[in-house]
Homo-oligomer: A and B are copies of this chain.
Amino acid sequence: MARNTQVAADHDAPPITAILARFVATHPTRGWDDAVDHEAHRTFLNWAGCAVGAASHEAMRAALAAVQMLEPAPQASVLGRPEKVDMAGAALLNGISSHTFDFDDTHLKTIIHPAGPVASAALALAEHRGASGRALIDALVLGIDVSCRMGNLMYPEHYDRGWHITGSTGTLGAAAACARLLGLDEARTAMALGIAASQPVGLREQFGSMTKPLHPGAAARAGLLSALLASRGFTASSRALEAPRGFAQVVSTKCAWHEATDELGRRFEISFNTYKPFACGIVIHPSIDACVQLREQGVTADQVERIELKVHSLVLELTGRKEPADGLQGKFSVYHGCAAGLLFGRAGEPEYADGIVTRADVVALRRKVVATVDDSIDEASADVTAVLRDGRRVHVFVEHAIGSLQRPMTDAALDAKFAAQAEPVLGTAPTAALIAACHRLATIADVRELTALARP
């Protein structure tokens, strides 16, 4: 394998369980610069919008019905739904909904979706305890730092082997965030991480089933329970992450220990978080982005003779479906993505509805897309030329798609993405109020003010 698979023997393993526990327990509140705090708010907002947007998906209905078999106490909110359930159930359910449309955040270095496990666990606990928004943001930053650093330590070997890294590292991040919210000391935070280490969640084989979004939910639930146990004196190995039969060495042959500790407390992994503007795999994003730009330049569908698309071979390998028959297949069609971008100027979940993917004008336009492979073009780029009926050629080259680290979505674009997901669930005015609450989360005295706004 060409990728880095550095392996350290056990005697090289620093005591990362203790180091990370000390960091989580003792790092000062808002102990980072404003950009980090701002990114944490963006991460939370994007996560919450995805959770509200999928609140009525059949996966959520099934999972909620299962949780209700436990007759849970109404401790915490299921975002976008009227029901309240116990903290463990809320962590599970919000973790599921936030990942259902695969529209949540991505830590590109590890392809972890970090908010799903961490925010779902932390919000459930914070809501039940009436914690402050400041405490919740702190927990989010620290929890995501733990899960993404553990991901850096093991990626790519751990992922290549078949672990859904979002869930397997997510239990740790969720436990860290909840330990912080509970105010656990170093020793008990280490126990929380240790208990969580025994509960990694997620197999890549589940991709395409409801169990994929279950992974961040189950990780959130297990991480929350780990912190609750530690808070009551339950014990684990104090070397659970690094020991020879501990977490990292059992689930990965790559253990780059330094990733856990390099610049700890100075570099925050949440800074590298990204958000999807389009509700499909990232490999299609540059092509959609290019077609949105064509539309912004005045190109309309009825002018188009054909669309010449040049992309890296990987794009067609993964998303080369020419005639998608429904919404799910549409997510694996760069042709549909281009049509949606040009026709609608966006490709959110509504543009992947069955009725849209099969609509006559959409089908007609996607059939005008002529894709060719050009491996001199980066996977993260796309070269698109609209050839118009009048003979004009309009060319757009996208080096980095909107939503990438190089061209992050603006706050306004994140708000629009949130609104598109949440308005059908909550209505326009409540959605605007919830967006505003997410932006000022750190100043909210009691997060129940925010969760109340997420209830229809």
Contact = CB atoms under 8 A, between A and B. Distances in A.
A203 B198 contact: yes
B234 A210 contact: yes
A88 B73 contact: no
A282 interface: no
A348 interface: no
Nearest to A96: B234
Interface in A170-210: 194-195, 197-206, 208-210
Contacts of A198: 164, 167, 201-203, 206, 211, 214-215, 218
Contact of A228 (B66, B195, B205, B249): B66
B206 A244 contact: no
B205 A245 contact: yes
A185 to B, nearest CB: 16
Contact of A206 (B75, B218, B231, B237): B237
Interface stretch (A23-31, A57-65, A314-322, A375-383): A57-65
Interface in A334-354: none
A161 interface: yes
Interface of A: 58-59, 61-63, 65-66, 69-73, 75, 86-88, 161-164, 167, 194-195, 197-206, 208-211, 214-215, 218, 222, 225, 228-229, 231-237, 239-240, 243-247, 249-250
Interface centre among A59, A63, A69, A247 (most CB of B within 10 A): A69
Contact of A66 (B72, B210, B211, B229): B229
Contact of A70 (B87, B205, B211, B244): B87
Contact of A218 (B58, B62, B222): B222
B66 A205 contact: no
Contacts of A240: 203, 205-206, 211
A58 B163 CA distance: 34
**7 smallest A-B Cβ distances: which pairs?**
A162-B245, A71-B73, A162-B250, A211-B236, A65-B232, A66-B228, A205-B246
B237 A211 contact: yes
A231 B69 CA distance: 10
Contact of A247 (B61, B203, B222, B243): B203
Contacts of A208: 237
Contact of A62 (B163, B201, B232, B250): B232
A228 B163 contact: no
A214 B88 CA distance: 17
A73 B65 CA distance: 16
A87 B89 CA distance: 13
A203 to B, nearest CB: 5
A194 B240 CA distance: 27
Contact of A194 (B201, B204, B206): B206
28 contacts: A59-B235, A63-B232, A65-B232, A66-B225, A66-B229, A69-B232, A70-B75, A70-B228, A71-B73, A71-B75, A72-B72, A162-B249, A163-B250, A195-B214, A198-B201, A198-B202, A198-B215, A203-B246, A205-B237, A205-B244, A205-B247, A208-B237, A210-B236, A211-B234, A211-B235, A211-B237, A214-B229, A222-B222
